[in-house]
Structure 1
Amino acid sequence: MSSHHSQRQPTYATLRSKAESVQSRDESGYLLADLERHPSHSTSEQRNHHSSRSPGQQPSLDKGTKKKRQPHLNIRLLVLAGGQLVIFGLGWGFVGALIRQSNIALPDNLAHLVSSEPSATTFVVSILAAIISMISIRIYSLSVCLALTSKLHRRATPLLFSGFSVSASMGRMFIKLRHPTWTCTSIITMVVLTSLSSGWTSLLNPTVILLSDPIRGNELDLISPTFSYLLNNSSVSQNGTNNSLTALNDDSYNVLGLSGPLAGHSAGGLDVPSFFSLNGATYNISTGGILPSIQSSVYSVGNPPTSGLQFDGGSTRVNTTSFNTTGLSQNFTMTQQGLTAHVNCSEASPDSFSVDEDVTSPASYRIYSATAYCNRSLDYVANGPYYSGGGCDGVDCIFIVPCPLQDSTAPSNKSFTISIFSNAAGSECRYSFIPNTTCTVTPMTTTVVAQYNDRIITPTTSNSSESYAVGQYNPSALAFLASVVQWFGGNAQNLVSNSVGDSVYVLRSMQNQTNLQSSNDPDNIIFAEQEDYWRGVVEFGGTYLRSGFSTVGSELPEDMLTPISGNVSTLTMGWSYRPKSTLAALVPQTLITLFTLMALAAVRRDAGALHDSVDVTDVSDVVLSTTAGRSGVQGVTAGKEKKERLEGETVRLTEVDDSRKILVLGN
């Protein structure tokens, strides 16, 4: 038995080394690891030096050593505190920028890349967040290590507290029910450290955001006195009567002929999207009498060869705010001056028109002369030749004649009428469903809210807007619109069909059959369809008029302009300030910064130099500090000898008969 104990005696002595180290520290005030920093002293000299002091006397360092340690410690504390505060400041600075700007958008090229590669983006952001978190956690761990080293250096500390401090510095759980404060602190620390990377990922990961910015600009004012004067000087009357019907230029027929009937058809009140193109822009339902105010919504159509009433197509001026960010997609909402018309259609009096057939017509087709009596406004008769083929007994023909400067009952400088009559009325021909009709048209300038979405313009008349009769402020504009209707009417008829009649026929065919059957008077529905059709034609005429006098390069004086405004909504990638989630993402970083500063505040002046040779949170340093090396000196040595011990020493865990565990250093 004695032999057995003698074999274990060296191992037991090794375990007692830590207690001896603490005893030496209690007597001298310094760990033996600190004494190892003076290798020039021999072991016997060190022992004599200790024995020459009284038990309660602290070892005195030379003044030069104190002066060296103080700057070293100050720099270390400043670096740790500064590094943590820089990370803390970057995080809260970013949040502050979000609070101030609400949204921070990525450049367009990066936004498209991030949107197309969401997984790769999350991966990159996670790596960046992990790097920031590791740096912050390392600074925190070093600060706790310094604080623990300082405490151990000043006084004897319970081993349990030392274990708690090491666990707290590494974010490990420390469960001791007899010490609930330490347990709760370790849990909080663990949660903070483990959630730090997630917080930074949540903060830095870009998401889909919606930017909203105001738009300002101006456009041609159709009812300004300056433009009224300009248009009056540019107009040529058809019959010598000023401001009755304007003589249109042949150059403009291409635009009028291609787009006019489409505009009327689209505006026919079908309650479904109906698109048509005009001068590089695509409109839904109607033009609303506006010009495109957003450059990106118009395809390039080249510079216009002519302008004014001779306009034959080409780019028009856009004078609104431009934006550098286009994002993934953009929608614009603009409030502009539009042009529409109040149209009221009813059955025409039989004596308001007449149709005569030319008896000399060739056998293959017939020639008609239609006359509308416009004597309510002035001594004026509107007429013109119409050509029809021989189908349906040669009477499948619709005549459309405008009468300027009158409404349905009396002369008026705000309105004009449209007489629509057919030889097919009452027969079984294609257009027999259209009764003889008189429509009173009153063009009005109004406020239009236009939606620009994916190069499609959808204008809607604002219900709260004020309307102004065009003829009252700009008689020449009223005469121009009446001439546009006249041109449509004269060119709608061909040898086999009539484009206006076909459009009304299609609109009627697409009407809800329940509405047609429930209506007491089917003619009312036909009148309503014609009202929608001619309203679309007049609105198109307003857009054409604006285009001719707003061509690219034209200089419009200030008194010919009206302001417009709106808003752009840009869908892109970036960061948006969301109070709860944004602030919650920085809670872990805020707490770890607070813990770091608290730990650094607990560091005393004499701990910095000591930490150069011993790390009390490192198990290797702890083992070395409680054992002796080959030189026979107990403690952690600095420099090469410590490195040799770490690489050369071995450690083994053994168990004795009474279940005690012994950690044996060496073979």
Structure 2
Amino acid sequence: MSRSVDSDAYTKPLHPSALQDRSGGFGIRTFLRKLLGWPGMVICFQVLLQVGAWSSFAVVEARGSVALPYSSAVWVKANPRTVTLISTLISTILASCSSYLFSFGVSRSIGLYLRRPMSLAALVSTVRISTRTLVLNPRRWKWSAISILLVIFTGVQTSGWSTLITPAVIVIEIPVSGSELDLTTPVLREMMNSGALDDCIYNSSLSTPFFVGSMESGHALSASSRGYSAFFTLMDLNFNISTAGILPATLTDFDVSPWFSNSTVIPSAIQGADLRQGVERQDIPMCGKLMWHEGFSADVICKFQDLTNDTSPPLRGLTDTVTEWKKTGDASNLGLGDVTFTDIATLCIGNATLIYSYTISMHEPNYILMVACGPVDNYTLIFNFAGIYEWPTTVCTLSPKITKVYVEYSDPTSVAISSTATFSDAASPDPDGPTGLTAAVTMYNMVFLAQTAESNIMGDLIDSLLFDVADDNLNQSFLAAMEDYIQGVSEYSGSVFRACLSGNGRPPFADGLPGDLTVPTSGTIFTQTMGWTRLSARSTWVLVPGTLVALTTIIVVVVAVAQHAGDPPTRRDLFNPSDAMHLVAAAAAGGLSDVFTGTSEEAIKDGERVTVVLRSIPGQGAALIRT
């Protein structure tokens, strides 16, 4: 038989006025004293967990990234499975602490709330919530919704902590600055006129590595304009599409002795690297670099023009074929054709060149010859074709210019030109400078050295780009390919010219470039390491579950303590509703045996309406008594 609570034994719920002291003031001291026990422990530890989480989040958000020390980053990168194990273990411990504090705080708060009448349905629901168990009761949908949310929030705390504390690959941006050769300085023109730059202007492009590279650079830019990928090398550095007339900026001195006689190294062009987080220069795992450079390029316009000895400019040609030599000795059995000597020359304002070739052919000789005029306003390049290169005489105007180039370095040994700024305020014409002359000379030497006894390598490369072009577009496509080819070679020559003058130990600047011949350059190095980086907008939710669990715990505890701060301590405070034995013992002590008439749906439904209150019975302790 159940016991009921009479009016004298029942302690009414406290009104907020219960927290007032006798003088009418708010009894804050009583409230704070009640918080000193388990409520204060629950609140403090939940606050500490959230302060740690949000502080870490705020530091990373403010700094953008936090890198591990180099030695730690190396270990983390080399042991990803171990790092995942440790991070998951720590995350699980932190999430378990938060969940335990939630369960403990809610459970102890239920004991306080039971000092006022509470339905058995509410009691059972809150007990299940305190143990993080789902309440699946359609008649109590609010409790069901609350339990589902809290079970989800407490359950996903581990993944949230793991996202927050697991180190990942991060990219650190390091601003850098340096200097490079200034192609616009008047000093270079004076040195060109005095002959001090002759070796770099006339002889560099004759060496085998640079001759081959100049052909590849022209083909790369032409191929890129037609949708093909194209890479080539300059001094063992890989370039995508074009060199853009720049000399790559390196973090360390660059050995150029294999390419330039008497040269030792090109000094590092970067001096201003602000290396953070204890990462040493030699330890930087550089994954990319963006730099602004002073570059060199040329505007090229080509057109077909029928030139003779009487046109302007004139074009004179001489051809002499020798046939007798193949009929004597062992040569008669080789099946070789005639040997043809061909040369062309022109007269124009400014300097002019003459070019010749020796070709062997059974029929018409196959060759490409080029002469150059200038500089006046610009350079004029005249191409003459024969044999399999069935193109009319082509006249191209080469207009040199100094540019501003934005360069993307995809790795320490690769250079990818992202874009070239050619706006009026970023490019300046340079028709009579040493770089323009170097471009014309390089083009001349390249055409001459590309000519073999039976074909011309440049012609073969251009023809390979036009094999699928329709006949009605062939002429225009050829002229466009020539323009791109000449531009690519010109930009390549600018890079070689820079390298030639920048190397130590080689005249005219054996001791290094003077400061008044340099121009500043700047950019950003991207280094890859391990650490923590700013979360994306969609990832900041990882802190929400833990924060909501902590807030729920704190609110439940504070409200429970505030409502019953004035109650004297009794043995009821030892009652733990989350413990099944405590519930059974309290129900037995309170005589609730006749509350339920069975386990049928109707019996359970009727029993849920019963309200109980927690009392302390002398000799029996805590008891749930029907009200």
Pairwise CA distance, 1:136:
0.8
Decide whether the 8 Å contact of 2:372 with 2:379 is kept in 1: yes
TM-aligned CA distance change 1:624 to 1:443, over 3 Å: same
1:81-113 Cα distance to aligned partner (Å, 9 max, x none)? 221101111222233235434556678898899
TM-aligned CA distance change 1:133 to 1:609, over 3 Å: farther
Pairwise CA distance, 1:278:
0.8
Q: Paired residue for 1:60?
A: none
Q: Paired residue for 1:450?
A: 407
TM-aligned CA distance change 1:478 to 1:162, over 3 Å: closer
| Aligned counterpart in structure 2 of residue 417 of structure 1, from 364, 374, 380 | 380
Q: Which residue identity does 2:379 align to in structure 1?
A: F
Q: Paired residue for 1:370?
A: 343
- Answer yes or no: is 1:304 the counterpart of 2:257: yes
1:532-557 Cα distance to aligned partner (Å, 9 max, x none)? 22222211110101112333783451
Q: Which residue identity does 2:130 align to in structure 1?
A: S
1:626-655 Cα distance to aligned partner (Å, 9 max, x none)? 889xxxxx9xxxxxxxxxxxxxxxxxxx99
| Aligned counterpart in structure 1 of residue 47 of structure 2, from 85, 93, 104 | 85
TM-aligned CA distance change 1:135 to 1:566, over 3 Å: closer
- The secondary structure found in structure 2 opposite 1:342 is strand
Counterpart CA distance in 1 for 2:497 and 2:479 is 27
Q: Paired residue for 1:277?
A: 233
| Within-5 A mapping of 1:601-612 | 601=558, 602-603=560-561, 604=565
| Within-5 A mapping of 1:82-481 | 82-101=44-63, 125-150=87-112, 162-174=123-135, 185-201=146-162, 203=164, 216-229=177-190, 235=196, 248-249=202-203, 253-269=207-223, 270-293=226-249, 302-304=255-257, 317-319=268-270, 322=273, 330-345=287-302, 346-347=304-305, 349-351=307-309, 352-356=314-318, 363=325, 368=341, 370=343, 372-377=345-350, 382-383=353-354, 386-392=356-362, 395-405=365-375, 412=376, 414-421=377-384, 425=386, 429-431=387-389, 433-453=390-410, 455-459=413-417, 460-462=419-421, 464=423, 466-472=426-432, 475-481=433-439
TM-aligned CA distance change 1:278 to 1:183, over 3 Å: closer
- The secondary structure found in structure 1 opposite 2:184 is coil
Specify every segment of 5 or more residues in structure 1 that has no aligned partner in the other structure, as ranges: 1-15, 30-69, 239-245, 406-411, 629-633, 635-653, 662-667
Counterpart CA distance in 2 for 1:128 and 1:616 is 30
- Answer yes or no: is 1:554 the counterpart of 2:523: no
Kindly report the root-mean-square deviation, in angstroms, between the aligned alpha carbons of the 2 structures: 5.1
- Answer yes or no: is 1:582 the counterpart of 2:535: no
Q: Which residue identity does 2:423 align to in structure 1?
A: S
Decide whether the 8 Å contact of 2:295 with 2:403 is kept in 1: yes
Counterpart CA distance in 1 for 2:447 and 2:264 is 22
| Aligned counterpart in structure 2 of residue 504 of structure 1, from 459, 464, 476 | 459
Provide the TM-score with structure 2 as the length reference. Answer: 0.69
Decide whether the 8 Å contact of 1:255 with 1:313 is kept in 2: no
| Aligned counterpart in structure 2 of residue 532 of structure 1, from 446, 467, 484 | 484
Pairwise CA distance, 1:567:
7.8
Pairwise CA distance, 1:441:
1.7
Pairwise CA distance, 1:169:
1.9
Q: Paired residue for 1:47?
A: none
Decide whether the 8 Å contact of 1:343 with 1:531 is kept in 2: yes
From the CA coordinates, give the structure whose radius of gyration is larger.
1
Decide whether the 8 Å contact of 1:88 with 1:590 is kept in 2: yes
Counterpart CA distance in 2 for 1:279 and 1:404 is 30
Counterpart CA distance in 1 for 2:516 and 2:231 is 34
Decide whether the 8 Å contact of 1:291 with 1:547 is kept in 2: yes
TM-aligned CA distance change 1:249 to 1:186, over 3 Å: closer
Pairwise CA distance, 1:571:
10
Provide the TM-score with structure 1 as the length reference. Answer: 0.66
Decide whether the 8 Å contact of 2:217 with 2:489 is kept in 1: yes
TM-aligned CA distance change 1:130 to 1:415, over 3 Å: same
Decide whether the 8 Å contact of 2:177 with 2:520 is kept in 1: no
1:13-40 Cα distance to aligned partner (Å, 9 max, x none)? xxx7x969x99x95999xxxxxxxxxxx
1:449-490 Cα distance to aligned partner (Å, 9 max, x none)? 434335543434335354322235xx3333333332333244
Decide whether the 8 Å contact of 1:84 with 1:593 is kept in 2: yes
1:177-205 Cα distance to aligned partner (Å, 9 max, x none)? 78776565545444433443344445556
- The secondary structure found in structure 1 opposite 2:255 is coil
Q: Paired residue for 1:11?
A: none
Identity %: 20
1:489-536 Cα distance to aligned partner (Å, 9 max, x none)? 443334x245xx332233224315443x114xx555444333322222
Pairwise CA distance, 1:147:
2.8
Decide whether the 8 Å contact of 1:115 with 1:573 is kept in 2: no
Counterpart CA distance in 2 for 1:529 and 1:486 is 17
